[in-house]
Amino acid sequence: MKIERVGVVGCGLMGSGIAEVAARAGFEVMVRELDEAAIAAGRRRIERSMSRALEKEKVTAADNEAATARLQFTTELSDLADRDLVIEAIVENADAKAATFDALDAVCGDHAIFATNTSSLTVTDLAARTARPDRFVGLHFFNPVPVMRLVEVVPTLASDPDVVESVVAFGRALGKEPIVARDGSGFVVNLLLVPYMLDAVRQLERGVASIPDIDTAMRLGCGYPMGPFALADFVGLDTTLRIAEIMFDEYRESRYAPPPLLRRLVSLGRFGRKTGRGFYDYS
């Protein structure tokens, strides 16, 4: 199963990173966003990341030009009709994702593989709502995609083993280290990481220490690259809340329950870095 043409649906934090690394690895990439403003924001995110990679001497200017030439943008889902692999990276909402895959089913060829970058939804439930559960897997990247080496590949009971093998090979072609995880909400990383971030919010609510002091404690005491609040702001508090709600709904364990403070910040539109304010103020 040769993967040459890749589609990416959603060009937010994750979709922009996925599109960038795929184009950099030599794939022809078509990105679909909702409107021209979202395309412009996605392009800017990719350009900023490419400039950063150039500054850090990870790539040359020629590499950036070649990758940019392999990237195309559209608002029309039908422009993904000729893709071999379509990776969905839209908001963490089961119905929105299912509607996207439903529309993709109608336009993409029978050979096309569908993958979801979901953080916490079960891949099986999304696969079951498509006409091609055998050609459907989870492909979970980490933020920031151009930097983080891991990708989780998540087959379901219905996935064709050849499809899984092709997607693992695709992950390697992107320069990532794929692991294969069982399909359960949170896979491996979020199963462990999400309760840690939520627990940090609960400790803040209990008055254990200030936000910067808890972050400093985890950075300098444990060697983590970011403290839990900086990380939650980086992931997006809206996304973190959605993930917590989905994982709590799945497991009914208090460790996944969204803390009230997280809800209040999201109600106020303080989604973290992407809106300029979350636990920290970035303005």
Residues that bind ligand CAA (CB under 6 A): 49, 52-53, 56, 58, 119, 142-144, 146-148, 189-190, 193, 225-226, 231, 235
Listed in sequence order, the DSSP H helices in 206-267 are 211-222, 228-235, 237-251, 260-267
Question: Active site includes 119?
Answer: yes
Q: How far apart are CA 237 and CA 117, in angstroms?
A: 17
HSE value, Cβ hemisphere, 13 Å, CA-based, for 189: 18
Name the binder of 52 from ligand NAD, ligand CAA, none, CB < 5-8 A by kind: ligand CAA
Q: How far apart are CA 51 and CA 71, in angstroms?
A: 16
Distance of CA 157 to the CA centre of its chain: 23
Question: Active site includes 64?
Answer: no
Instruction: Tell me how far, at minimum, the Cβ of 62 lies from ligand NAD, in Å.
Output: 28
9 vs 262, beta carbon nearer ligand NAD: 9
Instruction: Tell me how far, at minimum, the Cβ of 238 lies from ligand CAA, in Å.
Output: 12
- Residue 12 binds ligand NAD, judged by CB under 6 A: yes
Taking Cα atoms as reference points, which of 70, 68, 90, 76 lies closest to residue 36? Answer: 76
Name the binder of 90 from ligand NAD, ligand CAA, none, CB < 5-8 A by kind: ligand NAD
Question: Active site includes 111?
Answer: no
- Residue 154 binds ligand NAD, judged by CB under 6 A: no
Q: How far apart are CA 145 and CA 179, in angstroms?
A: 16
Q: Among the options 20, 49, 120, 140, which is catalytic?
A: 140
30 within 8 A of 79, measured Cβ to Cβ: yes
- Residue 91 binds ligand NAD, judged by CB under 6 A: yes
Strand, helix or coil at 57? coil
Give catalytic residues, as residue numbers.
Answer: 119, 140, 152, 190
- Residues near ligand NAD (CB under 6 A): 9-15, 32-34, 38, 89-92, 96, 100, 117-119, 141-143, 235-236, 239, 243
